[in-house]
Structures are given as C-alpha cells and as structure tokens.
Amino acid sequence: MIRLKKIALAALPLLVLLGACSSAKRQNVNKDGKSLSEAMAKTIMERFPFPIENNSRNLKWTYETGVYLTGISQVWKRTGNGEYFAYVQRCMDDFIEEDGSIKTYKFADYNLDNVRNGYNLLMLYKVTGKKKYYTAAQTLRKQLQEQPRTKGGSYWHKKIYPWQVWLDGLYMAMPFYTEWAADFDDYEAFNDIADQFTDIEKHARDEKTGLIYHGWDESKEQLWADKVTGNSPNFWGRAMGWYGMAMVDVLDYFPKDHPKRQEILDVLNRFAAGIKNAQDKKSGLWYQVMDKPDGKGNYLEASGSSMFVYTLAKAVRMGYIDASYEKVAQKGYDGIKKEFLVWDEQGNLHLNGTVSVAGLGGKPYRDGSYDYYLSEKVVQDDPKGAGAFMMAANEMELRDIPQTGKGKTVVLDNFFNNEFRNNILGKKESFHYVWNEWDNNGFGLFGEHFRYAGAKTETLKAGPTAQNLASANVYIIVDPDTKKETEYPNYMQAPYIQNIVEWVKNGGVLLLMANDSSNAELPHFNDLARQFGIQFKSELKNPVTGKQFDMGLIEIAAGNPVFPLGATTYLKEISTLDVKEPAKAVVNHNGDVVMATAKLGKGSVFAVGDPWLYNEYVDGRKLPAKFQNLKAAQQLIQWLLKQSK
C-alpha cells in the first residue's frame, strides 16, 4: 500500500475521505462495466475539462497534457467512442490559434518537453485535415531542427540544461519526430532518431544491472554528474519508463526495411532484460529508485510501473521481444491494480502512488541523490501517472481480443482502387480506403483493429498474381475506380480473375466491398463476383437525407453466422446483391440482400455493396452512438481471419 504520508495534500480532495485509500473496494471494472482505461479516462476528463473556462486553471502548454491525451487517444482507437477524440480536440483547440500559433509555447526555450503534444497535433491533422494543426506541428519540427545537440548528435534536454541528455527527452521528442518523418517522407531523419537511442545507451547504460541512468552530462560540469562518466547517480523508474515507451512508439512508424531499425530493437531487448531483473518479485511492481529495493524510504511507484507494463506488453504484442515477457507485464499490471487503484464513493477510479516530479539541476538544485528522489511528493491522479496507466490498461485490454490473426497477413488492394491527391507539401499520395489514412475516407481504424486481432496489414499496389497473393490470408478489394475517380483506371480483367479465383480455391479469404453504381466500376468487378455466385446491382439503395441517419439503419440480429453478437449498422447509398449458389445471403434489409458469403474450394468470400467500415462510420465522430459499425467490423474481422486456415 502506498505510504499515505507521501500523498500531496492537494490530491486528497479527490477522495471522499483520506481513509478511502484503504477502505475502497478494489475491482477491475467500474460500476457501469467499462474498462479500467475508460474509467481512468473519465476521471481525467472530469478533472481537467476543456475548454478551460472562467480561468478555472492556468493555460499552459505542457508535456503532462500530452501524456494523458496520448492515453485517451489510444482508448479512442480501441473503443471508437468519439467523446475521447472530441476531448483531445477541445484541449488542443484551447492552445492552437487559427494561424497555427501555439499559446504559451516559447520556441526559444528549446525545451524537448514542449514537443510531446506534437503527437496529438499530427493525429488531429490527419483526422480533420485542418491546416492549423499541421502548422503548429511544423513549428515543433522546426524546433527539433534547431535544437542544440551534444557532440555526438543527441538533443540537449533544454537550452537551460546545456550538454545534458535526459531519458525523459527521448519520449518527449522521438515518437513525434518519427511520425513526422514517416508522414512527410523525411527519410534521413530515421538515422538521426535511431542514433539518439543508441547514443544515450552507449553513455548511460550500466552493464551490471542493465539499467540506464536518468541523465548524462557530456561536459561533466554538473554537480550531479560523475566526473569520469558524466552520468547522474541513480536509476529513476519513470526516466526508464519514458525511454521504453519512446522505443515501442517510435517503432510504429520506423520503416521496417530501414537498416537502423534493428539497432532500436536491440536496445529494446536489452532494456526489457534490465526491467525484468529489476521487477519486485512479490508485488510485480518497480521501485522509485530501481536498484535499491531495500533502501530506506524507497517505495513502489505507479507511473514507472505503468510505463514498464505498457512497454513490455506492447513489445510482446508487436513481436519486438520474446513472448516470455508477457508474464512480466501481466504480473506488473496485476500489481498496479492491487497496489494503486481505488474507487471513490461516486464510482470514480483513482490512481495512487505517482511521484509528482523528479529532475536534475535547476533552482533549487536537484543533485540526483538517492535522498533527493525520495524527497519529492507522491500524489494521486497525477497526469503523467494517469496517462501512463491508461496506456498500460488499454494495452492489456487488447488481450481480450481473440488473436485469430496471429501469423496471418491482410492485404488491401491499391490497384483497382487507386486514387491520388496532393498532400500539404504538394506531393502525390494515395488516398481513399487505404490503411494509413485517418480522415473520413480512410481505413485507418479498420486496419488498426485487424492488427489488434494479431494480423499484419499490407498493401498491394500491383495487379493480383499467384506470386503476390501467396503471402495473403485475407485480400480486400474495395470500391474499384471509375474514370471520374482515376484517369486511367485498372479494371478487373480475366487474368486477374483467374489468379484470385485460384487463390480462393486454395484457401484464400476474399472481402469484396463495392459501392453504388455511380461511385464504383461494377461491370468488370461483377466479372469477378460472378465466380462466387454474387452480383452487385446497378442501383442506389438506402439514400440518406442530411442528418436523418436512421434512413441508413440496417439491424443485424444476434446469431448471425458472421455477426454472432448482432449490431445496429449504418450503410448509406449502397448496391444490393443478387446471389445464387454457392453464395448465401447473410444480411437482408427491406427484401434486399445486403451482405453475402460464398465458399469455393478451401476458401471463403464475403461481399457487401458499400465500403461501410471506413473511418467516418466507425470512429464515433459523426454517427449517433446507437450505430455500431465498429462492433460489426470487429466481428467481421474475426470471421475473415477464422476462415483462413
């Protein structure tokens, strides 16, 4: 149990009584049955409402906000609850002017902490397309271009901390830096990013423990710096946590074929081994000062423990480290739930046990000693701890999703659907139903949920052949182009049809998603669909006027062979189907067949006359909450993956 004497007085009003820490009933879900990540999101959103009105608190551009917004963003992607996205947007809109300038941000500070919110800016830009978010993110990228560096190329943590590299800074800057590089083709940046991870490990990793010191001073002038190594004296838990989270998040966007990717993976594996060895065997948690579990006054700390759970769990799920680390993550998560979580009388979840701050140097001077790390206050619902816990809980909650996609690859066509636009830099990019697109037209969330189920997602930009389909377990063709969409569309031709049919007979699973006849090239597409007893009709059904969303409502009853849980779905302006053997209708509406399946040889086909699972209809931002397209998508994903043997 956390030492109550260390809880900051400012945090205590959040509990009904001080004694609630010991008397509150611990449980894994809150009263309405929502997950722990959602329960913590609710607590944070109520404690820090946006927009800030009536001067209820100071407006300050801070990394702490970026941390808990990252947690809330991850919960949004898993749940498709648009309230979470709206909260993130309201927060950033408090800071970002229409011209993209950032309130309270000071470029000249060259403070890496100020870059953390860049993650949220990029997400908002990619989802909404609003230029102001790009412009603000561009400012942060410019800061990194000019950020002072050590002689070895690592960023100073802040201008006021010359020659100093803190582990904290890797998390503040690198995930944003990597995502920017991936989004805007800044390929040279990846060398810089990888080098900064390996540079600090080279200087600050302790070979005996496998842990990394909180900070390193290249000049060796700081009072806290060892005069030989330049390292600070101790291993602080949250500093190590920042470093671990930075690596697993950077790898999301670091090119898989880049030669330096393996260097980051190697660092991550060494990091994981050190974290495992430092885990408290009894509680599963980690100490504030990591290598001194028996030190006087040392205590188990919540934010670092949450960060380690997130890092290890995500690294296992993504295949970056050995699967044996799953037990380490689970034991840590169980420890967090037992040691730090409490519910108040209103049913709100709280996280105890987070150290409020720890740093090096400054005024008053922080000497990095053991006593210093034990002197900082321990508080409840600290934004850094709550954000890290949301990430950890959300990651562990992904374990509830059946991993039917393990070892399987889902390939999305980008040949028959092959539209282009110019991005904000004037560069040509593919768009409309593609994996890496998060605006209304994309399949960003659909792809994310395939990956949650354990599958890999890839894109096929060429016509289907036996060779390029060989690695695909599921192949998705959506909305084939007409000439109004692409000047020179690629039509479904006989050789492609033969290759696809043979692939299905051999066990492939095919998902056909058409559109109404005015928006999809149906005649050639039907030449393929006909092989499975399916025809997309040249018509438009389920028209919707304005926001009369119920006009697009199609109810799928529980017990459906593809959607066993049922779902209230939304499909607008669709082509319905004619089916004959071997096809069978699986969803009907007003006398029409809306969805159908077919078996051919060892393989399976699913057909629907609309790309109804794109972001606009699954991410919770537009449709009323009663529509459950994401719930339907999750069931369809499971069906598709299960058909693949």
Q: Which residues are catalytic?
A: 168
Task: Provide the β-strand partners of residue 164.
Answer: 217
> Cα–Cα distance between 308 and 285 in angstroms, integer?
9
Asked if 387 contacts 68 with a C-beta cutoff of 8 angstroms, the reply is yes
Asked if 632 contacts 457 with a C-beta cutoff of 8 angstroms, the reply is no
> Cα–Cα distance between 446 and 314 in angstroms, integer?
19
> Cα–Cα distance between 291 and 285 in angstroms, integer?
13
Asked if 28 contacts 350 with a C-beta cutoff of 8 angstroms, the reply is no
> Cα–Cα distance between 395 and 404 in angstroms, integer?
17
Vertex 340: Cα angle to 339 and 346 (nearest 5): 125
Radius of gyration of the chain (CA): 26
> Cα–Cα distance between 40 and 68 in angstroms, integer?
10
Q: How far is CA 354 from CA 8, 242, 307, 374, in A?
A: 10, 14, 12, 12
Residue (of 560, 580, 576) closest to 568 by Cα position: 560
178, two tokens = 């990597």
> Cα–Cα distance between 611 and 589 in angstroms, integer?
17
Q: What would you measure as the largest C-alpha separation in the chain, in angstroms?
A: 81
376, two tokens = 């900082």
For CA atoms 235, 236, 239, 241, the dihedral sign is positive
Residue 609's SS3 state is: coil
> Cα–Cα distance between 424 and 617 in angstroms, integer?
25
Q: What is the phi/psi pair of residue 17, to 5°?
A: -140, 155
* Amino acid of residue 211: L
3-state secondary structure 51-118: CCCCCCCCCCCCHHHHHHHHHHHHHHHHHCCHHHHHHHHHHHHHHECCCCCECCCCHHHCCHHHHCCH
Q: What is the dihedral of CA 459, 462, 466, 472, to 10 degrees?
A: 0
179, two tokens = 């995502």
